[in-house]
């Protein structure tokens, strides 16, 4: 049943409480909640902006609250604390007029029946408006990690880890890029429509876009409902980040080949492989039946006929000898912080060591499915060096595989490292942070 009464800010507060209290994923709970409310398009956009913005910036916003609140912030009710995040986000990031913010959020405190906190919220917001310029971050010289962490709203352990791997400047640039709203990346299904015709439809819909450096991809700059009912529903496009699309260009599937995609759900890379080489056979697998259904739905929507779907653990996949095996490995997801900002708060540093052990185990197993002379693609959606280059180097040192550098005739050189791997960065390429390596099995029978 649809709710027509709550304001956009109240709906956003409800969603943020779900995310904070239950650990819910922002995109899922946002989509589900908006379906239950009848809100004008402008209000829906505000809800989305407040939810994603507050999840991104909550550490920074909490810092401001701590500077202005006289009591212990841990004793503040969660719904009130989130209201303050929303109000400060509108004041600091969205530059909403001050009077509108203060009046609306004081009203919302009363609506939540937190009457004892009305004066606190009113006073804190007015105090911020008067003294915003006086609120300073820790000194960048004496406390460099804490400064970057608070300035860009990233956990200190992550800033410290990246500074050790990439240095101070790249770390700051990555953290800043993680707080920018990404454009929507569309992969054109060229088995159904040419890129030129696809762009012509966007022109007719008066949708702003730009062509990607990556063939077959288009960045859509203002998303309209027409996309859902025409190009998307009709199977003429797939929403996929360009960084993920690079994996297919690295794999180079050919007609007549058997290509295996392990850990394949929800099917973005599987369907791209199938589109790129309609004459190949793509065996696509995932351990969970409910997730393999997502692959089936994608295959049917895109009208593809060369995908064979298997419900199986990657460690116990039906025995094949494939020309190409893709292992899109479980990873920390630290390259996805623009689109899934809650990952920065949910991930723990100790998780990474556990994931690396799993990645190495899966890679060794995936290697057994590759025919002599075949290709093994290892990909992740993280920028962490230990999950990426180090996993590959360790594997090659103890196997009959060697690194096959990316073909610069297939892949733009700005995405290729000196070792021949693919690496994308949010601050350099306006893409998700991702990694991929092509490994070739020595031709030993």
Quick: pLDDT tens for 357-406.
999 999 999 999 999 999 999 999 999 999 999 999 999 999 999 999 99
Residue 133: is its pLDDT beyond 70?
A: yes
Rounded Cα gap, residues 65 and 81, in angstroms: 8
Beta strands in 196-318 (DSSP E): 209-211, 217-220, 237-239, 258-262, 281-286, 307-311
Query: How far, in Å, are 217, 259, 385 from residue 278 at the CA level?
Result: 18, 12, 34
Q: Residues 406, 329: one domain?
A: yes
CATH number, domain containing residue 45: 1.10.940.10
Q: Are 227 and 213 in contact (CB under 8 A)?
A: no
Q: Are 214 and 194 in contact (CB under 8 A)?
A: no
DSSP states of 80-120 as a string?
HHHHHHHHHHHHHTS---HHHHHHHHHHHHHHTT-GGGHHH
Q: Residues 150, 275: one domain?
A: no
- Name the catalytic one among 280, 331, 381, 396: 381
Q: Residues 156, 252: one domain?
A: no
| 404: in domain | yes
Structural domain total, the chain: 4
| Peptide linkage before 125 cis (omega within 30 of 0) | no
| 1: in domain | no
| 331: in domain | yes
Q: Residues 265, 308: one domain?
A: yes
| 36: in domain | yes
Rounded Cα gap, residues 162 and 171, in angstroms: 6
| 265: in domain | yes
Q: Residues 345, 312: one domain?
A: yes
Q: Domain containing 189: what range?
A: 184-239
Q: Residues 278, 410: one domain?
A: yes
- Return left, alpha or beta for 153; rule: phi > 0 is left, psi -120 to 50 is alpha, else beta: left
CATH number, domain containing residue 189: 3.30.70.1170
| 2: in domain | no
| 432: in domain | yes
pTM: 0.94
Q: Residues 96, 118: one domain?
A: yes
Residue 24: is its pLDDT beyond 90?
A: no
Q: Residues 319, 230: one domain?
A: no
Q: Residues 277, 424: one domain?
A: yes
Q: pLDDT digits over 288-339, tens only?
A: 999 999 999 999 999 999 999 999 999 989 878 999 999 999 999 999 999 9
Q: Residues 192, 206: one domain?
A: yes
Q: Residue 230: what pLDDT?
A: 82
Q: Residues 343, 220: one domain?
A: no
CATH number, domain containing residue 360: 3.40.50.150
Query: Quick check: is 381 catalytic?
Result: yes
Q: Residues 109, 168: one domain?
A: no
Residue 3: is its pLDDT beyond 60?
A: no
């Amino acid at each position: 049943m649809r709710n027509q009464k709550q304001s956009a800010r109240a709906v956003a507060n409800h969603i943020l409480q779900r995310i904070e209290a239950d650990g819910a994923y922002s995109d899922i709970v946002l989509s589900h909640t908006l379906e239950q409310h009848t809100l004008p398009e402008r209000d829906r956009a505000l809800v989305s902006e407040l939810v994603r913005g507050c999840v991104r910036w909550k550490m920074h916003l909490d810092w401001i609250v701590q500077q202005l609140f006289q009591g212990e912030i841990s004793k503040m009710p969660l719904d009130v604390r989130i209201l303050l995040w929303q109000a400060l986000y509108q004041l600091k990031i969205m530059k909403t007029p001050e009077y509108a913010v203060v009046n609306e959020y004081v009203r919302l405190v009363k609506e939540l029946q937190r009457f004892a906190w009305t004066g606190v919220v009113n006073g804190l917001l007015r105090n911020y408006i008067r003294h915003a310029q006086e609120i300073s971050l820790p000194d960048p010289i004496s406390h460099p990690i804490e400064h970057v962490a608070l300035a860009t709203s990233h956990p200190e352990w992550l800033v410290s880890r990246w500074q050790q791997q990439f240095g101070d400047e790249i770390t700051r640039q990555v953290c800043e890029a993680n707080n920018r709203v990404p454009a929507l990346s569309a992969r054109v299904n060229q088995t159904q429509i040419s890129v030129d015709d696809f762009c012509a439809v966007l022109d007719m819909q008066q949708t702003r876009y730009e062509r990607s450096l990556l063939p077959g991809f288009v960045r859509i700059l203002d998303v309209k409902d027409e996309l859902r009912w025409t190009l998307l529903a009709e199977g003429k496009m797939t929403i996929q980040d360009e960084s993920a699309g690079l994996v297919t260009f690295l794999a180079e599937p050919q007609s007549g080949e058997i290509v295996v995609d392990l850990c394949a759900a929800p099917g973005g890379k599987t369907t791209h492989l199938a589109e790129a080489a309609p004459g190949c056979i793509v065996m696509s697998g995932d351990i969970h039946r409910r997730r393999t259904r997502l692959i089936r739905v994608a295959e049917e929507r895109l009208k593809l006929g060369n995908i064979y779907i298997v419900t199986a653990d990657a460690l116990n996949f039906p025995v094949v000898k494939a020309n190409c095996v893709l292992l899109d490995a479980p990873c920390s997801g630290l390259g996805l912080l623009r689109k899934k900002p809650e990952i920065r708060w949910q991930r723990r540093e100790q998780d990474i060591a556990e994931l690396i052990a799993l990645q190495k185990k899966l890679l060794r197993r995936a290697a057994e499915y590759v025919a002599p002379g075949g290709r093994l693609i290892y990909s992740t959606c993280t920028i962490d060096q230990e999950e990426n280059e180090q996993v590959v180097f360790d594997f090659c040192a103890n196997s009959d595989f060697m690194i096959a550098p990316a073909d610069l005739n297939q892949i733009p050189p700005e995405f290729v490292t000196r070792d021949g791997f693919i690496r994308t960065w949010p601050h350099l390429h306006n893409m998700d942070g991702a990694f991929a390596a092509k490994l070739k099995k020595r031709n030993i029978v």
